[in-house]
Amino acid sequence: MEHRVTDHCVVFVRQGKLLISDKGRTEEIPAGSCVFLKKDCSVRLVKASFAGKNYEGLNIRLPQNILEDYFQRHLKNNEFSQDFTGLSNCFMRLNRTLCLQGLLSSIILFVEEGQDPGQKMTELKVEELILDLLQTNIRFFPTLFDFYRDWNVDLKEFMEDHFTENLSLSEFASYSGRSLATFKRDFLKITELSPAKWLMTRRLDLAENLLKENKLSIKQISYSVGFKTPAHFSTAFKKRHEMTPSEYRASNTGCN
């Protein structure tokens, strides 16, 4: 599966194992271990069985409203945050501190007993997790509280890195740290094309090169450049070239 969320998240692997991949980097998270997943990132997750046990995990989200409230109550006047940068990777394996082990044990008790801890208790557990993360690594401060500063990723670089992903315009906006209206406005600063037109152009340009290489099937190409279905890809390609992807490949490679 592909992990895309707008909240930070900590995953505890109870049994089985979790494989996480991001930009060529893959890490195996075994049972009994935790990993932090940064918001607005896209990573590939494989939940696998191990030692005869199916995967079972516990996910704890860190919603921004709780982070903002925590920051206002505890950290607003903390000046050391200015001297550190946030985590650069989309995920980070966490050390099992005593505080973290105690927190997980208390949550698992509710799970095993089938009881709902309730909203207030859940918020307290999330705050406990925030404190543990901050004590584990100082770089969690600018990571968790990025709203403390004016922050937007470079839009041109972001779009070039992610245009092949099957995301809606609202998701592109959110993952670049913008509202949809701001995303569209900022997009006009880097190109005269609308976001939808730019995405179509970049995807079809890449598809043309892949068709000429003749290494991937047309179905594989359609998904790899960001189209939802091969049919959608074929329709868009034919509208641009007045020929199907198969016909284009044959005319450029001599292959059917």
Answer yes or no: do 157 and 131 share one domain: no
81 confidence band (pLDDT: 50, 70, 90): very low
Answer yes or no: do 46 and 133 share one domain: yes
Region at 243 (left for phi over 0; alpha for psi -120 to 50; beta for the rest):
beta
Domain boundary among 85, 113, 148: 148
Amino acid symbol at 210: L
CA–CA separation, 201 and 196 (whole Å)? 9
Answer yes or no: do 133 and 8 share one domain: yes
Both tokens of residue 193?
């094309």
Domain of residue 190, residue span? 152-256
- pLDDT tens profile 88-136: 888 999 998 888 999 999 999 998 888 888 988 988 999 999 999 998 8
Q: What is the overall mean pLDDT for the chain?
A: 87
- pLDDT at position 3 is 60
Answer yes or no: do 178 and 78 share one domain: no
Answer yes or no: do 99 and 156 share one domain: no
pLDDT at 75 over 80: no
- pLDDT at position 111 is 86
The residues facing 21 across adjacent strands are: 26, 44
The DSSP symbol for 72 reads I
Percent of all residues in the chain with a pLDDT value above 70, rounded to a whole number: 91
pLDDT at 153 over 80: no
- pLDDT at position 202 is 95
Answer yes or no: do 173 and 134 share one domain: no
Cα torsion for 222, 227, 228, 232, to the nearest 10°?
-80
Q: How many domains does the chain contain in total? A: 2
pLDDT at 12 over 90: yes
Domain boundary among 121, 148, 175: 148
The DSSP element (H or E) to which 125 belongs, if any, is helix 118-136
- pLDDT tens profile 188-247: 999 999 999 999 999 999 999 999 998 899 999 999 999 999 999 999 999 999 999 999
Domain of 130, CATH number, reads 2.60.120.810
